[in-house]
Structure 1
Amino acid sequence: MEYPKLRSFITLARTLHFAQAAAEVSLTQPALSQHIQSLEKSWGVKLFERNKRQVSLTVEGQLLLDEAERTVQRLDNLRATVSEVAAGSRGVLRLGYVGTAVLEPLLVSALRSFRSQFPQIRLEPAEYNVDQQISLLQSGELDAGLLRGPLPAFRFIACREIHRTALCVVLPDNHPRASDRQIDLRDLADETLIVQQDPDGVGLGGAVLRLYTEAERVPTTIVRARDVNTAIDYTAMGMGITCIPSSQRHFLRHDVVALDINATNITTSLYLCWKEGRKNADLMKFIKNTRQLFMPAAEKIK
């Protein structure tokens, strides 16, 4: 069944006027008449009653009109999908993220904005650590990743800083300094430090250890935790202290407290990463939308 003939049938059924319908589908009136006659012959039914004064749908034509409209809509959708695929759009964006990323209020706003502007693109988010995301980005199993810095240079991976926020210290609520508003890192050198199981110098764990190095302090003991939530749980148990992005202090459990760090440049950065040279229209839309929302906030801290 030919698409142009269905369009001719639907347009004539709506206008009930051959000249007007022919103009709308960019045909001559004889060509439009041939389309209708071809459908009537193929379907074995008469679609229109016509005389010199008027055109009207037959009962059979009315019954077939709804199905014809649904068929054309499906074909239109198929054409749009084919165009998107040809342009590098698949309608699905596979997004990796580290655990601390999903608690960033601006990230939630960015994802909502993207879904609102591009409802035809389905987001498939999944949590992975830094190593896993880099591997999945390189293999093409992820389209984009949200990673916590610092990050080394990864081969074939582009990374852009999109957000920077201050770090704060998390203590158990029975800690002697729990009632303070801020604290110096040098006062915590004797505390057991709980950090994430990131590779050395990478991610939130790498950022925290670098701060200690810059303060010329070395934690007496370091405990590795699977993720930031586990680190906070360990802190609540009295096993040590940990550090988190200050934007997440409002999501803490009730038996820990967060204190500001009395120092400058105590920050952690969130990066948007993707595979270099990847031709993916959906990815480019996501990168542009996310950077537009995040970058002004990141610039304020510079």
Structure 2
Amino acid sequence: MSPASVATSAPLVPPPLGRLPLDDARLQGRLWRGSSLSTAADPALASGFAALDAELPGGGWPLRAVTELLTPQPGVLEWRLLAPALRDWWAAQALPAATPSRRGRAATPALRSLLLINPPHTPHLPGLQALGLPPAALVWVEAGTPAQALWAAEQAIKSRVAMLAWLPETQPEQIRRLQVNALSSDAPAFLMRPERVQQQSSAAPLRLVVQPGEGWELNVHLLKRRGPAHEGWLQLSAVPGEVEPLLTAAKRKPLPVPAPEPTPTPVSPPMERHHALARPVLQA
């Protein structure tokens, strides 16, 4: 290139700071202020708890992300918290498709399964069916090693099926890999981990601590979310559907704490008073 052509070429002027074009529509809604909840356009699944949905970005469980549930004891609280959302997810995808098939009948979409990877207890099919999850929707995967369980979780996310995985030994870099794969999936993905890993870093955009509350309540704290820090705990009434009709109004509420009984005041033994005429008998 000659010097003359260089001199006559238009100079490259960088765009002013703060005026970078956002041509990709996928970036819209992915930026938010730290003082407000994210309003991303990604789909969300209502949790079934109005108080919880009000605190979750998008108004429900994210469908393009991995959600971590940290509990003190695995296999006890997860189903009561997740059953309403999983039931609605299964019912929504089981509806017939709007476009007719070649024979003129409404085509039914292929139903996606719900994978249970290394649950701490054997899944109780009658109990899960009572929660609204038919046995045909459930696939139980029992991996022999943590590496196999992690591989099964990754394949489930890539296959766009709902997943509940109990992975207590998962490392931060492994969770990051799962989160990257979840960006292209529209099915819920939940990781159950012990409560003691709260201080570990995690690429999951949503992390919750779940503890048992009084009566049938669940205490939920949002440890991490796309938005401001969550203060305090949410008390969610999580009575199983089959149990609720059997409970009276009093049994649905936490039992009142009995008042402590007053400590009895010790009573001093009465002073023994001898008769004035009582005298020791002197023996001769």
TM-score, normalised on structure 2? 0.23
Greater percentage in helix: 1
Greater percentage in strand: 1
Bigger relative contact order, structure 1 or 2 (CA pairs below 8 A, ≥6 apart): 1
